[in-house]
Amino acid sequence: DVKVTQSSRYLVKRTGEKVFLECVQDMDHENMFWYRQDPGLGLRLIYFSYDVKMKEKGDIPEGYSVSREKKERFSLILESASTNQTSMYLCASRGTPGYTFGSGTRLTVV
Amino acid sequence: AQSVTQPDIHITVSEGASLELRCNYSYGATPYLFWYVQSPGQGLQLLLKYFSGDTLVQGIKGFEAEFKRSQSSFNLRKPSVHWSDAAEYFCAVGPMEYGNKLVFGAGTILRVKS
């Protein structure tokens, strides 16, 4: 089975901190995604990557950046965390038959 | 722009009763359609998908969904709900070209009464 691992289940960070959310997949997939999940809004795409060092903005990229130095790893970066970035963050990897999601990182910014 | 509407935020059904979760999409071409389930504290698990062919698709855990192009719908059904089906369900739509960014609905929370 494809495995997508997010390094932290829960994080608490202070406003203004730089935050790194890490995601690793073990199936050599080219496409990886970062989504943000908020109640009543479903999942919204932040960024995605279709190859190493390649990235594209999703629907809500403001306040975020990403890094994909190796195929298996896709990092989401909050340059200066703010309270409105408190959310559940889900990483996904795309292969056949579809997406595989990690368990999520619940980030709280205080 | 593509969008997905799940009209029901919460649904409560009795254990053993049948279930239908609604999903309507807006998309300019033939889409890929998915249903995912999320148990509390977990990531999303794929229940089933539709790419082409037979419009009634079978998934895991006894779920099925029917693609109706004329109604732009992809409703999820299960004939007899189990207490373990209590979770949040997401419908998603994506393009058929490579890359395949998915757009998700807001989700439907299913509660099961015993």
The pLDDT, as a whole number, for residue A95 is 74
Query: Is A32 within 8 Å of A73 (Cβ atoms)?
Result: no
Question: pLDDT digit string (tens) for B13-59?
Answer: 999 999 999 999 988 777 889 999 999 878 899 899 998 888 999 99
Q: Are A23 and A91 in contact (CB under 8 A)?
A: yes
Q: What is the mean pLDDT of chain B?
A: 90
| Residue whose token pair is 């997401």 | B90
Query: If you write DSSP's letter for every residue of B41-81 in order, what string do you get?
Result: T--EEEEEEE-SS-SEEE-GGG-EEEEEGGGTEEEEEESS-
pLDDT of residue A29: 87
Per-residue model confidence (pLDDT) at position B40: 84
How distant is the alpha carbon of residue B24 from its chain centre?
10
Confidence band for A89, pLDDT divided at 50, 70 and 90: very high
pLDDT of B100 above 80: no
Residue A63 has pLDDT above 70, yes or no: yes
Mean pLDDT of B78-101: 85
> Inter-chain contact A103–B49, Cβ cutoff 8 Å?
no
Put simply, the answer to whether B44 touches A45 (Cβ < 8 Å) is no
Counting residues of chain A whose pLDDT is more than 70, the rounded percentage is 96
Take residue B25 and report the two structure tokens written for it.
Answer: 């999409």
B107 vs A4, A42, A98: nearest CB: A42
Judge contact between A17 and A11, C-beta under 8 A. Answer: no
pLDDT higher than threshold 80 for residue B95: no
Cα A69 from Cα A53, distance rounded (Å): 6
Put simply, the answer to whether B106 touches A94 (Cβ < 8 Å) is: no
Across the interface, of B4, B44, B107, the residue whose CB is closest to A101 is B44
Mean pLDDT of all residues in A56-63: 94
* pLDDT recorded at residue B22: 98
From chain B, the residues in CB contact with A99 under 8 A are: 34, 44, 46, 102
When mean pLDDT is compared across A40-44, B41-45, B83-87, the lowest value belongs to: B41-45
Mutate to test the interface with B, among A99, A100, A103, A106 (most CBs of B within 10 A): A99
Question: In this complex, is the C-beta atom of A42 within 8 Å of any C-beta atom belonging to chain B?
Answer: yes
